[in-house]
Amino acid sequence: MLRVGVVGASGYVGGETLRLLLHHPEVEVAQATSRRYAGEFVYRVHPNLRGMTELKFMDVDVDRLAECDIVFMATPHGASARLTPKLLEVGLKVIDLSADFRLKDESAYPRWYGWHHPAPELLSEAVYGLPELHRREIAKARLVACPGCMAASAILALAPVVRAGLVDLERIVVDAKMGSSGSGATATLASIHAERFGVVRPYAPAGHRHVAEIEQELGALCGKPLKVGMTAHAVNIVRGILSTIHTYPVGELELRKLWQVYREAYGDEPFVRLVRDKKGIYRLPDPKVVFGTNFCDIGFELDKHAGRLVLFSAMDNLMKGAAGQAVQCLNIMLGVDEKTGLDFPGFHPA
């Protein structure tokens, strides 16, 4: 059985990764690291895992991690760039959930993240971990860089119409609404209950870091540069993202054509669902429906009056936006069914 380790396992993404891996039939969780909680039982930090494991957190040690086969990096931005080269050097494969290897252009890191990349030679090798676009490359990779959660939401919604040349590449606006778990497990004044509860708060009105990934991946799809505007909001939910994306068709566009394009793109995808219903409460994507799942729900609407094509994308930021996506990539790397350890619906009501 494959031995896996999770570095940075005490955060929300690390805990969700552990939850999935502990019940994965193809792997054994051998190590979970946390400098802050080294020596403490995992279930004391992640109480949902009580009775599921007696694993204790340990400090980061490359020699001990070398006993694993694959390591998941659930670390803050900047940490993986320093540690991952050492892990690759001793023969491990790495699935990175941070931003450290997502961007191909070395010069993009000072602009979007404020630091110079310490291992730029690995940027061209790292495979962007979005299976719907890079399944073949992921299967052969030794370093997978999982997408940012809002980037994954936007890219999956936009990819079919961008690839088909249906929208103006200079006028794409992503309006993303994010649950509080997207801020991580480290408290700030903005994230305490008294300040966070009840808000619909714009927190990145322009220049969000995930724009770099969105433009990189969609530009590669259509073979030319494109421009994306993005505004992020903190909203009063714990988990989930809803991206409402405003685009402008380049010619006459009908619903029949949209259904055709999206079905061709995602008809065989196990974790993308098209949601545009005429009945029921949830007629378009809603994060509430995908809590705890690896699904991304995508919908669309034509606004003939204003000449818009509005896209909707909902996912759980800790699952398809992070840990679930990483486990899906693991399954591809192992050559097993992509749904392994991920094939379950969400809760209703939630």
Which pLDDT tens digits describe the chain residue by residue (350 residues)?
Answer: 999 999 999 999 999 999 999 999 999 999 999 999 999 999 999 999 999 999 999 999 999 999 999 999 999 999 999 999 999 999 999 999 999 999 999 999 999 999 999 999 999 999 999 999 999 999 999 999 999 999 999 999 999 999 999 999 999 999 999 999 988 878 788 888 888 899 999 999 999 999 999 999 999 999 999 999 999 999 999 999 999 999 999 999 999 999 999 999 999 999 999 999 999 999 999 999 999 999 999 999 999 999 999 999 999 999 999 999 999 999 999 999 999 999 999 989 98
Give the position of tokens 């029921």: 280
Could you check whether 2-125 and 150-315 share the same CATH topology? no
Q: Is the peptide bond before 349 cis (omega within 30 degrees of 0)?
A: yes
Helix (H), strand (E) at residue 153? helix 149-163
* CATH architecture of structural domain 150-315: 2-Layer Sandwich (3.30)
pTM for the whole thing?
Answer: 0.97
Q: Where are the domains of the chain?
A: 2-125, 150-315
* CATH architecture of structural domain 2-125: 3-Layer(aba) Sandwich (3.40)
- The catalytic residue positions are 149
Find, among 167, 169, 156, the residue nearest to 128 by Cα: 156
Q: Please, what is the Cα angle at 271 between 270 and 277, to 5 degrees?
A: 105
Output the CA–CA distances (angstroms, integers) from residue 338 to 4, 204, 230, 319, 324, in the order listed.
Answer: 17, 34, 31, 14, 11
Order of strands, edge to edge, in the sheet holding 228-235? Answer: 200-204, 228-235, 172-178, 241-247, 308-315, 296-303, 272-274
